[in-house]
């Protein structure tokens, strides 16, 4: 992305400042219109120019500080929305302190109206802009920087797709260069292959290219030095897209450490504020459930002790987030040393996949069968959540010996905290074999949100009561 101030960023900043002023004015009108609180005269809700100036400074500084205008930070709508909300929250706190020190006449309701209105306006304006550009499709007028992509393979096409989807930030794709004769004259993502790499300087001059994005596959990296050398004397910006992102478990992140470019291939999907919110949510829910369910858990422990010899709590090694091994707690549902009999109940599908759970498992005790039917054996995992080994919602922690048989794509499920319940549990549970479970788990990984967690938790009791696929 360009490090200069982008015209769209400048436009957004100016429009945001206009919306701040509009929001403050609207809050004054709403204080008079909405019949909440005691009646107040129009003179008392009038806001002096100095307060408008303070609001503009507070929101302007907060929005810039939260990198709301940085194209790299706000490519996706939820990234932009999150930054806008946090910036608005920070600005509100600063604005409240500034008013306390300067202008205390602003009513509390008026202040609340302003906080809600300005947050809504900032989010609505960006949503409208995104809808506008999406409606324009490929004819959108966002291109200001002519881009040439070197490499028309899978990576180059992916780069074109990303740039096209975000052309409002100034990308105008001219075409591709590629040495493959079979691609000559073809179009990818609607853009032509203009020639071979040896024609680079000519194409850049003739088409007045401003940016060259190099998206060569790993096996063609010997050409990278030649491409960069050919561009050294030309007034173009050069971007290199390394072909390592396909190796990433879920997402890769590039950063600079001491002047050395570093690409992280195993980066957490949930981090920063979303990570903190998820952890606080887990702590609150697990602690509340432990208090509410303590009598029931004590009763279940007594039944297990009376039904068969052995410990009440069963500890089993499981694979958690990022491949970390931990002890998962469960109420014991099998006879002692049941793991030694594991090989006797394993089932293989026609394509060689392993199903390690089956109905009528002879190792399961009478009480254990009841506990499994309604997933009550999972209740001790609330302690795993409390200490941070697990989350309330996420892919289920898997057995290490099963993980050893995973294909590379299946390991992506460990990019988020493993949970007590998850998308798979409310969509089939044990009816699906392991290799299909992972597809459900990856849906959660790629679509994570706190709201999705709440939805899964709310749907879990119904799945438990139905008992479908639980054995």
The Cα–Cα gap between 315 and 331 comes to 9
Q: Same structural domain for residues 47 and 163? A: no
Mention every residue, 6+ apart, whose C-beta is less than 8 A from residue 254.
242, 261, 262, 263, 264
Q: Specify if 257 maps to a domain.
A: no
Is there a domain that residue 253 lies in?
Answer: no
- Residue 327: predicted pLDDT: 96
Verify that 285 and 387 share a domain, yes or no: yes
397 in Cβ contact with 328 (< 8 Å)? yes
Give residue 243's pLDDT: 74
Name the more confident of 29 and 2: 29
- pLDDT, residue 235, reads 85
The alpha carbon of 272 is separated from its chain's Cα centroid by a whole number of angstroms, namely: 11
Domain that holds residue 179: 141-243
β partners of residue 391: 419
- Verify that 70 and 212 share a domain, yes or no: no
Whether residue 375 contacts residue 464, with contact meaning beta carbons closer than 8 Å, is answered with yes
Nearest partner of 9 among 61, 58, 90, 68, judged by Cα = 68
In this prediction, residue 341 carries a pLDDT of: 60
The whole-angstrom separation of Cα 284 and Cα 127 is 32
Looking at the structure, tell me whether residues 216 and 349 fall in a common domain.
no
Is the pTM of the predicted complex or chain greater than 0.75?
A: no
Q: Please state which of the ranges 60-64, 270-274, 319-323 shows the lowest mean pLDDT.
A: 270-274
pLDDT of residue 467: 63
User: Sign (positive/negative) of CA torsion 202, 205, 208, 210?
Assistant: positive
**How far is 36 from 31, CA to CA, in rounded Å?**
8
Q: What pLDDT is stored for residue 283 in this prediction?
A: 95
Q: In the chain, pLDDT over 90 holds for what percent of residues? A: 34
Distance CA 244, CA 450 (A): 30
Percent of the chain with pLDDT over 70: 79
49 and 114 both lie in a single domain: yes
The answer to whether 365 touches 333, Cβ cutoff 8 Å, is yes
| HSE, side-chain direction, 13 A CA sphere, residue 337 | 1
Q: What is the pLDDT of residue 138?
A: 46
Inside any domain, residue 249: no
Q: Which pairing describes strands 260-264 and 313-319: parallel, antiparallel, or unpaired?
A: unpaired
The answer as to whether 266 is a domain residue is no
Highest mean pLDDT among 4-8, 349-353, 430-434: 4-8
**One domain, residues 92 and 157:** no
Answer whether 122's CB lies under 8 Å from 115's CB. no
11 within some domain = yes
Q: Tell me, what's the pLDDT at 294?
A: 95
pLDDT at 258: 64
Cβ 1 vs Cβ 99: under 8 Å: no
What would the pLDDT profile of 310-334 be if each residue is shown by its tens digit?
899 999 999 999 889 999 999 998 8
Q: Do 119 and 203 lie in a common domain?
A: no
* Residues 68 and 188 both lie in one domain: no
Instruction: Kindly report the CATH number assigned to the domain that includes residue 232.
Output: 3.40.50.720
Residues 285 and 367 in one domain: yes
- From 138, 160, 187, the end of a domain falls on 138
Work out how many domains the chain is built from and give that number: 3
Lowest mean pLDDT among 22-36, 56-70, 355-369: 355-369
Residues 153 and 112 in one domain: no
Contact 147, 171 (CB under 8 A): yes
- Is 213 among the domain residues? yes
The pLDDT assigned to 233 comes to: 81
Give pLDDT tens digits for 102-159.
Answer: 777 777 888 888 899 999 999 999 888 877 766 664 444 444 678 999 999 888 998 8
* Nearest to 300, CA basis, from 240, 380, 413: 380
Query: Where does residue 91 rank: exposed (0-12), middle (13-18), buried (19+ CB within 10 A)?
Result: buried
Mean pLDDT, rounded, for 6-15: 82
The pLDDT of residue 80: 83
Q: Is the pLDDT of residue 429 over 90?
A: no
For 157, 205, 215, 387, the CA distances from 197, given in Å and listed in that order, are: 16, 14, 12, 56
Number of neighbouring beta carbons within 10 Å of residue 292? 10
Domain final residue pick, 115, 138, 161: 138
Whole-number Cα distances in Å, 278 to 75, 223, 328, 369, 416: 23, 45, 20, 32, 11
**What's the confidence (pLDDT) of residue 359?**
62
Lowest-confidence pick of 15-24, 253-262, 306-315, 348-357: 348-357
* Beta partners for residue 214, in sequence order: 150, 240
Residues 308 and 456 in one domain: yes
Is the pLDDT at 38 greater than 80? The verdict is no
- The better pLDDT of the pair 68, 166 is held by 68
- Bigger pLDDT: 164 vs 463: 463
Give the highest mean pLDDT range of 255-259, 362-366, 400-404: 400-404
Whether 116 and 153 map to the same domain: the answer is no
Express each pLDDT in 381-403 by its tens digit: 999 999 999 999 999 999 998 88
List the single range of 135-149, 419-433, 434-448 with lowest mean pLDDT.
135-149
376: left (phi over 0), alpha (psi -120 to 50) or beta: alpha
Please report which helix (H) or strand (E) contains residue 327, including its range.
Answer: strand 325-331
Identify the pLDDT of residue 1. Answer: 39
pLDDT value, residue 256? 63
Query: Which band of pLDDT confidence, cut at 50, 70 and 90, is reported for residue 59?
Result: very high
Q: Is the pLDDT of residue 97 over 70?
A: yes
Q: How many CA atoms lie within 13 A of 171 on its CB side?
A: 22
Tens digit of pLDDT for each residue in 182-193? 998 899 988 999
Name the 3-class secondary structure at 114: helix
- Residues 318 and 397 sit within 8 Å (Cβ to Cβ): yes
Q: Which residue has the higher pLDDT, 254 or 444?
A: 444
On whether residue 406 sits in a domain, the answer given is yes
263 in any annotated domain: no
Answer with the one of 195, 228, 243 that is the final residue of a domain: 243
Of 222-236, 292-306, 347-361, least confident by mean pLDDT is 347-361
């Amino acid at each position: 992305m360009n490090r200069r101030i982008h015209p769209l960023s400048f436009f957004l900043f100016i429009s945001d400042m206009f919306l701040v002023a509009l929001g403050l004015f609207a809050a004054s009108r709403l204080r008079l219109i909405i019949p909440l609180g005691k009646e107040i005269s129009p003179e008392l809700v009038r806001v002096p120019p100095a307060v408008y100036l303070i609001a503009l400074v507070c929101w302007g500084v907060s929005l810039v500080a939260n990198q709301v205008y940085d194209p790299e930070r706000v490519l996706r709508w939820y990234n932009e929305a999150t930054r806008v909300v946090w910036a608005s929250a920070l600005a509100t706190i600063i604005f409240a302190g500034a008013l306390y020190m300067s202008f205390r006449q602003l009513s509390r309701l008026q202040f609340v109206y302003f906080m809600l209105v300005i947050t809504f306006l900032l989010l609505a304006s960006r949503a409208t802009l995104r809808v506008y550009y999406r409606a324009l499709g490929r004819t959108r007028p966002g291109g200001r920087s002519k881009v040439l992509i070197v490499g028309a393979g899978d990576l180059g096409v992916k780069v074109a797709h990303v740039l096209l989807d975000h052309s409002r930030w100034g990308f105008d794709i001219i075409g591709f260069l590629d040495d493959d004769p079979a691609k000559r004259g073809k179009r990818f993502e609607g853009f032509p292959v203009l020639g071979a790499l040896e024609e680079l300087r000519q194409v850049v001059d003739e088409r007045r290219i401003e940016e060259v994005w190099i998206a060569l596959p790993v096996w063609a990296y010997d050409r990278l030095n030649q491409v960069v050398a050919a561009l050294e004397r030309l007034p173009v910006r050069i971007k290199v897209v390394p072909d390592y992102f396909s190796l990433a478990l879920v997402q890769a992140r590039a950063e600079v450490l001491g002047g050395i470019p570093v690409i992280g291939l195993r980066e957490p999907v949930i981090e920063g504020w979303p990570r903190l919110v998820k952890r606080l949510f887990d702590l609150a829910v697990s602690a509340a459930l432990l208090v509410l369910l303590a009598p029931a858990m004590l009763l279940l422990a007594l039944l297990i002790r009376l039904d068969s010899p052995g410990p009440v709590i069963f500890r089993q090694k499981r694979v958690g987030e990022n491949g970390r091994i931990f002890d998962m707690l469960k109420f014991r549902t099998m006879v002692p040393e049941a793991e030694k009999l594991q090989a006797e109940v394993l089932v293989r599908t026609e394509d060689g996949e392993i199903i390690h759970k089956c109905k009528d498992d002879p190792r399961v005790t009478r009480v254990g069968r009841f506990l499994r039917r309604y997933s009550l054996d999972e209740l001790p995992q609330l302690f795993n959540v409390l200490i941070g080994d697990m989350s309330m919602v996420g892919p289920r922690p898997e057995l290490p010996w099963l993980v050893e048989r995973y294909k590379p794509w299946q390991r992506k499920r460990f990019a988020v905290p493993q949970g007590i319940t998850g998308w798979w549990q409310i969509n089939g549970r044990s009816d699906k074999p392991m290799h299909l479970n992972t597809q459900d788990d990856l849906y959660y990984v790629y679509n994570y949100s706190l709201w999705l967690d709440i939805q899964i938790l709310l749907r879990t009791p119904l799945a438990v009561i139905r008992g479908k696929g639980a054995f």
